[in-house]
Structure 1
């Protein structure tokens, strides 16, 4: 097995590749090649599989570990936007039944409230983008690990939050060493798809089937007008568009075959 490059070198190399891809993007077409076709097929299978498991009693427990990770993304997005808009994060907690909650003071509500869904969608799109390439997936796993540890630092120190985040970091480390990171690529891709579409399924759960009055969309509607269903649909559409952008960018930026990767 080849020695692992340092995290700093990984980021520097990926940055150069992204810049080169951006400068050459106008000359590239979006023809789907062999490895990309496989990746798109895997994404489609993930979408169908997650949609089925999400709505079937008892079977939805299969998604529980990954759902907790995506909830962590959701709450991390609330937290980071609160900090960026002058707020302060007091705690983050994760709950498998009620989801997650971020307690914060200050910040701009018009940004922090939708940031949970839209932020997790953006993270999902970036992970989906990285999932088209093994090396990019390794870099993404480093960033993921940092985000998880930040969430743990912010989070309420209950056993579930600690276990979920540490298990996530352990999973990423373990898959790094399988087939020189090939397995890691599909794990990153799965988490990306799950995170991108989390807003769609969770909004349907909260606003259509269960009518949860404490959802982000409901709180947003109370503060800024409109209906929670309307805001939920808008955020869902934006999430799907962001995911599609991540897929198109992945096709354009990573034309290599599996062997070249």
Structure 2
């Protein structure tokens, strides 16, 4: 009987592994729709980014992801013993964080890589409604810190308040179902903006005052070299966010709506 038991156990193990492999590689209908939406976002953002006149439609979201970039500098400075004096956004799609102290080896790349990581986490949460609700709270905390650091900059304040208004409005529509698509869009926008900004400023056209230039002066290498490294890290973050979302959230749209109706219901 022992050999029979061993064989049955082996077959069961193989079957279980086969199920795990199939589950890990498969994409259900809900996830396929989400992937299609991510692809559509990428195409739409790429087109709007480069078309004259209509590119201004992305301006509020560009300001928002620039705020994420500056928040990356500020938060890592605070976590490494530094002091944040002020955050400012520029209408010409720029931003600056005035800080002192901290560990520059962490704070300098934290702008690009921080916004990339943040975007990847939002993409991950965008696969599920409840996860998007949780992400909106995290966004709210980040916004509060940003408002405090930018309390004298009206553009940053208005950008953050508009983003908060959009997130709050989505909470009260169909058990927050639209919230996941907004969180997903902000995540894709943040990831793409970081990747594009690295490529445009650090790889294709050297910017003397960029984060990578400052990093290269302090730690060696060239700004383009660090730009390439940060570029691939940003892409890896985005891919990991998508794969993790597929692995973690297999629920259907109907199941997500049901789960959302029991998690801080809004109607």
Same fold (TM over 0.5): yes
Distance, in Å, in 2 between the alignment partners of 1:208 and 1:56 is 22
Name which of structure 1's ranges 204-213 and 111-120 shifts more when overlaid on structure 2.
Answer: 204-213
RMSD: 1.7
**Which residue of 96, 107, 113 corresponds with 1:112?**
107
**Corresponding position of 1:10:** none
The answer to whether residue 32 in structure 2 is matched with residue 37 in structure 1 is yes
**Corresponding position of 1:121:** 116
With normalisation by structure 1, the TM-score equals 0.86
The answer to whether residue 247 in structure 2 is matched with residue 227 in structure 1 is no
| TM-aligned CA deviation for residue 236 of structure 1 | 1.0
**Corresponding position of 2:169:** 174
Count of residues paired in the alignment: 237
Distance, in Å, in 1 between the alignment partners of 2:54 and 2:223 is 29
**Corresponding position of 2:260:** none
**Corresponding position of 1:137:** 132
The answer to whether residue 85 in structure 2 is matched with residue 90 in structure 1 is yes
With normalisation by structure 2, the TM-score equals 0.84
The answer to whether residue 200 in structure 2 is matched with residue 205 in structure 1 is yes
Counterparts of 1:1-261 in structure 2 under 5 Å? 28-208=23-203, 211-261=206-256
Structure 1 residue runs without a partner (length 5+): 1-24
| TM-aligned CA deviation for residue 30 of structure 1 | 3.2
Name which of structure 1's ranges 43-52 and 113-122 shifts more when overlaid on structure 2.
Answer: 43-52
| TM-aligned CA deviation for residue 98 of structure 1 | 4.6
Q: 1:27 to 1:33 in 2, by over 3 A?
A: closer
> Does structure 2 retain, via aligned residues, the 8 Å contact 1:82–1:108?
yes
Distance, in Å, in 2 between the alignment partners of 1:26 and 1:100 is 45
Structure 2 residue runs without a partner (length 5+): 1-19, 257-267
Distance, in Å, in 1 between the alignment partners of 2:194 and 2:221 is 19
> Does structure 2 retain, via aligned residues, the 8 Å contact 1:117–1:198?
no
Q: Which has the higher contact order (CA 8 A, sep 6+)?
A: 1
- Larger Rg: 1 or 2? 2
> Does structure 2 retain, via aligned residues, the 8 Å contact 1:148–1:165?
yes
Q: 1:258 to 1:207 in 2, by over 3 A?
A: same
Distance, in Å, in 2 between the alignment partners of 1:218 and 1:147 is 27
Distance, in Å, in 2 between the alignment partners of 1:107 and 1:205 is 27
Name which of structure 1's ranges 225-234 and 248-257 shifts more when overlaid on structure 2.
Answer: 225-234
